[in-house]
Amino acid sequence: MANGSLTWLGHATFRLDTPGGKRVYVDPWLENPKCPDDEKEPERVDLIALTHGHSDHVGQTVDLAKKFGCPVIAMIELRDWLTGQGLPDEATEGGNKGGTIEKEGIKVTLVNAFHSSSSNDLEYLGEAAGLIVELEDGKKIYFAGDTCVFGDMQLIGRIYEPDLAVLPIGDHYTMGPKEAAVALELLGVGRCIPCHWGTFPLLTGTPEACREALTTDCEIIGISPGDTYDL
């Protein structure tokens, strides 16, 4: 697609096909129970961006980066942990909040998020982050990652002016629909794709509940795993 597209692969995993022809994976947990079978073995990966270190977000990052030789962008502590898992230093780029990293013509800015971040062995992997991904044509997508709602989302909206927000709505581990509706009010964004819902029975939030809680004019784009949204 000339304007790029975003495909939800279940849970918080997304494949982003950019206007410049790059293929970016965000939080590639391709073994999640909602990931379509034909998406579990990517044909190519040009860039991986991670929000935090939990296994349901790091997913298959190490294997994919080794296979395709693609760069990985993550918080500095998570980046160091990835090198300890066998990725060479030059394959990863560690940043921190407020900083922008450009790879493959794509700009990724790490922004605040309120969540924990650790390996399965409970090794600390730095703070969780959200991602502002700026495409070659200037379009910006805000991946909030796992977070609760927080007042400084207003600053994220003011500074970065995202064209689309990707927010978790499942509740229990992240914000639920009511909190996500407030987040959209703070962000001032006109379009939202909900994620991190429906993977397990525990994640009870739904796009419909988010629409019902909205107090602002925002389109809630309730796609199913495997669906593609044209940007």
- Structural domain boundaries in the chain: 5-220
Residue 1's pLDDT is 52
| CA-closest candidate to residue 51, choices 140, 99, 8, 112 | 112
Domain 5-220: CATH superfamily is Ribonuclease Z/Hydroxyacylglutathione hydrolase-like (3.60.15.10)
pLDDT at 91: 83
Token couple for 136: 């070659």
Distance, in Å, from the CA atom of 110 to the CA atom of 129, rounded to the nearest integer, reads 6
Looking at residue 200, its pLDDT comes to 96
Residue 196: predicted pLDDT: 98
* Rounded Cα–Cα distance for residues 176 and 17 (Å): 28
pLDDT mean values, one per 10 residues, the chain (231 residues): 90 98 98 98 98 98 96 96 90 93 96 97 96 98 98 98 98 98 98 98 98 97 98 97
Q: What is the pLDDT of residue 89?
A: 81
Q: How far is it, in rounded angstroms, from Cα 144 to Cα 185?
A: 14
Q: Which two tokens stand for residue 142?
A: 């805000």
**Residue 169: left (phi > 0), alpha (psi -120 to 50), or beta?**
alpha
The H or E element that residue 62 is part of is helix 61-68
Q: How many residues does the chain have?
A: 231
φ/ψ of 26, rounded to 5, equals -110, 125
Task: List the one residue out of 172, 113, 110, 185 whose CA is nearest residue 146.
Answer: 113
CB-side neighbour CA atoms (13 Å) of 54: 17
The span from the CA of 212 to the CA of 30, in Å, is: 31
- The encoded tokens of residue 183 equal 């987040």
